[in-house]
Amino acid sequence: MHYELKVWQLAMDLVVDVYAITRQFPDIEKYCLASQMQRAAVSVPSNIAEGAGRESNADFIRFLTIARGSLSELETQLLIAQRLGYITDVSEPLNKVKELFKLIKGLI
């Protein structure tokens, strides 16, 4: 099952991190950048799970590609949040993003 995959487990950890990070954003970002980051983060393990639940490797690869796109989106949003001064140190979440890119590429 998908929950046994290391890539899914790490993606779930990243979701928790993103929610913790975005809780500290100013109120004006609650429905903007924070919401976008949360949706992108949630999309990664969700697409991994959906792809793993499909009956073909082609479908799994397609959903892994979608997860990778969401991961790229989240990476950009983390850097935007840093530039805006909402996050001072993005090294930990970005390290998880890099590790997820490697794991997803390996699966593809």
Say how many residues make up the chain.
Answer: 108
pTM, full prediction? 0.95
How many domains does the structure of the chain reveal?
A: 1
pLDDT at position 53? 94
Per-residue pLDDT of the chain (108 residues; tens, 9 = 90+): 899 999 999 999 999 999 999 999 999 988 899 999 999 999 999 999 999 999 899 999 999 999 999 999 999 999 999 999 999 999 999 999 999 999 999 999
Integer distance in angstroms from the first to the last C-alpha of the chain? 17
CATH code (residue 21): 1.20.1440.60
- Domain residue limits at 79: 2-107
In 10 A of CB 57, how many CB atoms?
10
| CA 29 and chain centroid, separation | 19
In 10 A of CB 58, how many CB atoms?
10
